[in-house]
Amino acid sequence: METTAQNVFSLPVDSVKELLEHYGPSLQAMNRSPKTISWYVEILSRYFTFLESKNLTKPLSELGKEELRAYIQHLQKSARWENNVHIKTERGKMSPYSVQGHVRAVKAFWSWLANEGYVEKNMLAGFPLPKVPQYVVKTLTIDHLKKLLAAIDRSTAIGARYYALLMLLLDTGLRVSEAVKIKMNDVDLKHGLITVLGKGQKERVVPFSKLTRKELTRYIHNVRSHLDCKDSPYLFPAGSGEYVSISSVQQFIRRLAKEAGLNGVKCSPHIFRHTFATQAIANGANVFAVKEIMGHASLQTTLKYTHLQISDLKNQHEKFSPVEGLMKPKF
């Protein structure tokens, strides 16, 4: 029997489970990744379980802001990775960003319920997202990058592979999940372009510089065949014809940072992505171009990189401070 607004009653009921089963394919039709779909369904299941545990169950059409506020308060007191038995370290409280993510998921589900006609009115329309702290995006300096790259032993096939991969990450701002899945036929060395399959299965073409083209050419023609993965279709192959894993890249960068003496400096593939965006905009890149290169769905995401780093602020301050102007000689 098809689930409709008329037969959705109190929670928990089979009809709610049916709704979640319908919601997954709906997200898939919107090109959401399997990981994203799983995340949405997991959070919504957790939300409904919370409502049941607090005796807040009622018809879906009557659930709204009061119940969501109660859930937010619950999340703010919850431990990080509360349901993950594999995490043994000190957990601490759930971050404001995670709490906001849960609220986004619930609001999105209610929008879907209204659009599909399961409820007559979206009771969460206009519900504000919990505020999160605004931090300066962490990036690496040019000196950091030089030290990291210099610490790689390029005489080995593995070292040369990672050197080429890190150069590509720094030059394009690719997500590491995108970079490791690049196939040989995605690379256009002649024109300095790579075709990338990003979030939501959206394809985009990303340019890379002459220096990176030179490094990729060297790697492809002189090194890649020594990785014992000749039949792999991937640009950065690993064993059994697969591509190098994301965790392997993360671990390599962490070890590299220690070898480069960058103690206390956070280094990760995502920091490389932040560094590309910040440096590109600081060097005069158009934010719309950066948005397309990085595959951002919203310009707002790109705009967070338009802030100036501390060194830039200091230089600008010295140029335009009225006090500095008092000290300049008059001619």
Per-residue pLDDT for 98 more than 80? yes
What's the pLDDT at 269?
94
Q: Supply 293's token pair.
A: 């290169």
Q: Supply 42's token pair.
A: 């997991």
Q: How confident is the model at residue 17 (pLDDT cuts 50, 70, 90)?
A: confident
Determine the 3-state secondary structure of 13 from DSSP: coil
Write out the DSSP string of 168-224. Answer: HHHHH---HHHHTT-BGGGEETTTTEEEEE-GGG-EEEEE--HHHHHHHHHIIIIIG
Query: Whole-angstrom Cα distance, residue 149 to residue 262?
Result: 12
Residue from 147, 181, 273, 291 carrying the catalytic annotation: 273
Question: Which residues lie below 8 Å from residue 129, measured CB to CB, with a gap of 6+?
Answer: 100, 103, 104, 107
pLDDT digits (tens, 9 = 90+) for 286-330: 888 888 898 888 887 787 776 655 556 566 566 666 665 565 665
More confident residue, 136 or 295: 295
Residue from 23, 162, 219, 305 carrying the catalytic annotation: 305
What's the pLDDT at 321?
60
- Catalytic residue at 104? no
Residue from 32, 102, 224, 296 carrying the catalytic annotation: 296
Comparing CA positions, the residue from 190, 166, 192 lying closest to residue 180 is 166
What's the pLDDT at 221?
93
Half-sphere exposure at residue 160, Cβ-oriented, CA atoms within 13 angstroms? 19
Q: Supply 18's token pair.
A: 């049916």
For the domain spanning 5-116, the CATH number is 1.10.150
Residue from 175, 213, 224, 291 carrying the catalytic annotation: 175
Contact 283, 289 (CB under 8 A): no
For the domain spanning 142-313, the CATH number is 1.10.443.10
Query: Whole-angstrom Cα distance, residue 37 to residue 31?
Result: 10
Residue from 144, 199, 204, 274 carrying the catalytic annotation: 199
More confident residue, 331 or 158: 158
Per-residue pLDDT for 239 more than 80? no
> What torsion do the CA atoms of 215, 221, 223, 225 make, to the nearest 10 degrees?
150
Query: Whole-angstrom Cα distance, residue 96 to residue 37?
Result: 21
Q: E strands, 44-202, where? A: 187-188, 193-197
Lowest mean pLDDT among 19-28, 114-123, 131-140, 285-294: 131-140
Query: Whole-angstrom Cα distance, residue 48 to residue 273?
Result: 36
- Catalytic residue at 74? no
- Catalytic residue at 163? no
The residue extents of the domains of the chain are 5-116, 142-313
Lowest mean pLDDT among 42-46, 190-194, 238-242, 316-320: 316-320
C-alpha to C-alpha distances, 166 to 30, 71, 146, 173, 252, nearest whole angstrom: 32, 41, 12, 10, 10
Question: Which residues lie below 8 Å from residue 182, measured CB to CB, with a gap of 6+?
Answer: 194, 196, 234, 235, 236
Looking at the chain, the whole-number percentage of residues with pLDDT higher than 90 is 46
- Catalytic residue at 305? yes
More confident residue, 62 or 156: 156
Residue from 144, 270, 304, 307 carrying the catalytic annotation: 270
- Catalytic residue at 273? yes
Q: Supply 196's token pair.
A: 């990338």
- Catalytic residue at 270? yes
What's the pLDDT at 12?
42
